[in-house]
Amino acid sequence: MVTSKYMPLDGANAVSQAMRQIDPDVVAAYPITPQTAVVQNFSQYVADGIVHTEFVAVESEHAAMSACVGASAAGARVMTATSANGLALMWEMLYIASGLRLPIVMTVVNRALSSPLNIHCDHSDSMGARDSGWLQLYAETGQEAYDNTIQAIRIAEHPDLLLPVMSCQDGFITGHGVERVGILPDEAVREFVGEYKAKFSLLDVDNPITMGAWDFTDYYFEHKRQQTEAMNNAMPIVRAVSEEYERLSGRPQPIVDYFGMDDAEYAIVVLSSTAGTSRAVARQLRAQGWKVGVVKPRVFRPFPAQEIIEAIKGCKAVAVLDRAISFGALYGSGPLFTDTCSALYNLGVTGLPIVNYIYGLGGRDTLPSMIESVYRDLRQVAESGDRGAPVRYLGLRE
């Protein structure tokens, strides 16, 4: 284990620090609130000659991912960052990056998608990309955003995986919130990420390859099967890298973080910063004698079904909090809810009352009192035996 140096950093700056230490070969990026600080800081590192990176200040997010694809195909270690509409503009290229099996690492500072225009946090951007073949990590804090960024490099580039990774954090709440962040020594990060040697590269002119061929009815299906196989086998790789990083940093890196789940009767499943609020409330309620808990997946793609279900299956009632709506899904629920319900069924858990809360859209504050109301609702559901409305809204005026 090495000793971290503590710095006052917001989540965006924490990621820039990680990127400085990783010193990727190419960063191609475009400014968008609230991600801008990430590439702004990184540009300064480039300007000051602190990194060897070729920084490509592109003219759009689609171009950002296009340049990332070209650079990664040319054997470079490649990173970028975006938010919201920027991610949406990249959509076509997200699938191309994963389909070409390019280990690009992208920070997503989560922000609501238009329309109407809103710059604040929700997860509609990255949740819209959840089927794009990228792994997705969600950070609760600036510390996790930093740690996830470094791990993402090793996960993406693992020779048995070769898939891009999205490392998400909550816009403004985490991205602009200054906190105490432990930074590993530069040398330790460099050693941890190691040197990237692409198996295939466009720049290997003596061994020419064709990438992105025209793949017709006779092969495309098999290639997609290989791709899903890689994603299906990703969890052990994520776990191994996380454990190695845990040993290095001394900071726990669970796939799913549990609080109070040993004996919880009522549990909240939630991603990112609201897990912190939930934990604080759960701690208070537990002090009053309530058996409540919090389940926070740090990894959303691949979906840690086993880990989530094992934790919640003994509960009396469970709430899944979603910061995005999957329009037209069951009851208009959110993606974390539908995946959790699907996992419950497939792992043979029946009869567990489970409700969905849509919260925090467009940056709406999620207060401790709202989390407390969720736990009260859960007790009500369990005691009455009536689930009531399957999808509810937290902090909404109706």
Partner 1 sequence: MTDRIRINLRQIVNNEERLAPGHRLCAGCAEPTAVRQILHAIEGPVVLSTATGCLEVSTTVYPYTSWRVPWIHSAFENASTTIAGAEAAYKALKRAGKIPEDRQITFVAFGGDGASYDIGLQWISGVLERGHKVIYVCLNNEAYMNTGIQRSGATPRGAHTTTSPAGEVLPGKTQWRKPFTRIMAAHDIPYVAQASPHNYRDLMMKAKKAAAADGPAVLNVLVPCPRGWRHESDQTMAIAKLATDTCYWPLYEVDHGKTIINYKPREKLPVTEWLKAQGRFRHLFRPAYAGLLQEIQAKVDEEWERLLKEEANS
Q: Which residues bind partner 1 (CB under 8 A)?
A: 25-26, 28, 52-54, 56-60, 62-63, 66-76, 78, 92-93, 96, 100, 201-205, 208-216, 219
- State the CB neighbour count (10 A cutoff) for residue 148: 29
Smallest separation (angstroms) from partner 1 to the CB of 104: 10
C-alpha distance across the termini of the chain, in Å: 52
- What value, to the nearest 5°, has the Cα angle with vertex 297 and ends 293 and 299? 170
Smallest separation (angstroms) from partner 1 to the CB of 71: 4
Closer to partner 1 by Cβ: residue 96 or 329 = 96
Closer to partner 1 by Cβ: residue 58 or 352 = 58
3-state SS class at 99: helix
Tokens linked to 292: 């409540």
Closer to partner 1 by Cβ: residue 218 or 398 = 218
Taking the alpha carbons of 328, 86, 300, 318 in that order, is the dihedral positive or negative?
Answer: negative
Smallest separation (angstroms) from partner 1 to the CB of 58: 6
Smallest separation (angstroms) from partner 1 to the CB of 21: 15
Rounded Cα distance between 395 and 398, Å, is 9
Smallest separation (angstroms) from partner 1 to the CB of 96: 5
Q: Which residues lie closer than 8 Å to 51 by C-beta, 6 or more apart?
A: 19, 20, 23, 24, 42, 45
Element (H, E) at 32: none
Smallest separation (angstroms) from partner 1 to the CB of 115: 22
Element (H, E) at 322: strand 317-322
- State the CB neighbour count (10 A cutoff) for residue 144: 27
Closer to partner 1 by Cβ: residue 220 or 331 = 220
Closer to partner 1 by Cβ: residue 56 or 282 = 56
Q: What residue type is assigned to position 345 of the chain?
A: Y
Smallest separation (angstroms) from partner 1 to the CB of 384: 54
User: Token match 């369990």: residue?
Assistant: 382
Closer to partner 1 by Cβ: residue 99 or 171 = 99
Closer to partner 1 by Cβ: residue 13 or 66 = 66
Q: What are phi and psi of 267, to 5 degrees?
A: -130, 145
C-alpha closest to that of 223 among 132, 104, 98, 130: 98
